Amino acid sequence: MLSKTMEKALNEQINKEMYSSYLYLAMAAHLSEQHLDGFAKFFEIQSQEEWGHAMRIYKHLNERGGRVVLDKIDKPQTTFKDLEEIFTLTLEHEQFITKSIHTLVDLAVKEKDHASQIFLDWFVNEQVEEEANMENWLAKIKMSGAKGHVLFMLDGHAGERKK
Ligand code: OFO
């Protein structure tokens, strides 16, 4: 059985993951408008992945006898200067999510909630991957300037993302 504190914190994390999904979908829509179809696909997949993260927590709450309480999802930023801004915001957002996951782990340890602690391990690892991936893209974009034919090359590469 989940404690009320843990239940509330996990519900807040569902909301953060859903917001992540919303933010990345807003980025996908913007990129699609800019005819950067590869990057648009990349962020559509990222958005679906985030929704999947929210659903993992949703299932954990249900399995543990917790109550899922959905809150409103904040409006995300909808226009962006360029790819550098998009990936800078993405990396910053992922760093924020990492902190939030680590806080949840600390809470699970404090409450001796071993099941939640083990459940959250997957998220700890996932965040390492998410940050590394976004850092990598941001470095490539900064290095190349992401203009002209390099931009089209990067867009093609981004569009190869399958999951
Ligand atoms: Fe859910 O990992 Fe990104 O936000």
**What would the pLDDT profile of 99-113 be if each residue is shown by its tens digit?**
999 999 999 999 999
What's the gap in Å between 149 CA and the centre of ligand 1? 31
Number of domains into which the chain is organized: 1
27, pLDDT greater than 90: yes
Q: Is the CB of 53 under 6 A from ligand 1?
A: yes
Any ligand 1 atom below 6 A from CB of 97:
yes
Task: Answer whether residue 93 shows pLDDT above 90.
Answer: yes
Percent of the residues in the chain that have a pLDDT greater than 70, as a whole number: 100
Is 100 contained in some domain?
A: yes
Assess whether the C-beta atom of 155 lies below 6 angstroms from ligand 1: no
Residue 62 domain flag:
yes
Domain contains 45: yes
Q: For residue 84, what are the CA distances in angstroms to 24, 116, 121, 143, 161? A: 14, 36, 31, 10, 19
- Please work out whether the CB of residue 20 comes within 6 Å of at least one atom of ligand 1: yes
Ligand 1 atom with minimal separation from the 126 CA: 2
- The answer on pLDDT for 155 being more than 90 is yes
Q: Is the CB of 17 under 6 A from ligand 1?
A: yes
Mean pLDDT score across all residues of the chain: 97
Place of tokens 């959905």: 70
Give dist(CA 62, CA 55) in Å, integer.
10
What is the rounded average pLDDT of the residues 33-47?
Answer: 98
| CA of 20, closest atom in ligand 1 | 4
Domain containing 82 equals 4-158
pLDDT at position 7 = 98
Classified as helix, coil or strand, 128 is helix
Q: Is residue 16 included in any domain, yes or no? A: yes
Please indicate, yes or no, whether the overall pTM of this predicted structure exceeds 0.75.
yes
* 58 and 14 Cβ atoms separated by less than 8 Å: yes
- Residue 1 pLDDT level (bands cut at 50, 70, 90): confident
Domain holding 95: CATH number? 1.20.1260.10
Q: Is 130 near ligand 1, meaning CB less than 6 Å away?
A: yes
Examine residue 163 and state whether it is found in any structural domain, yes or no: no
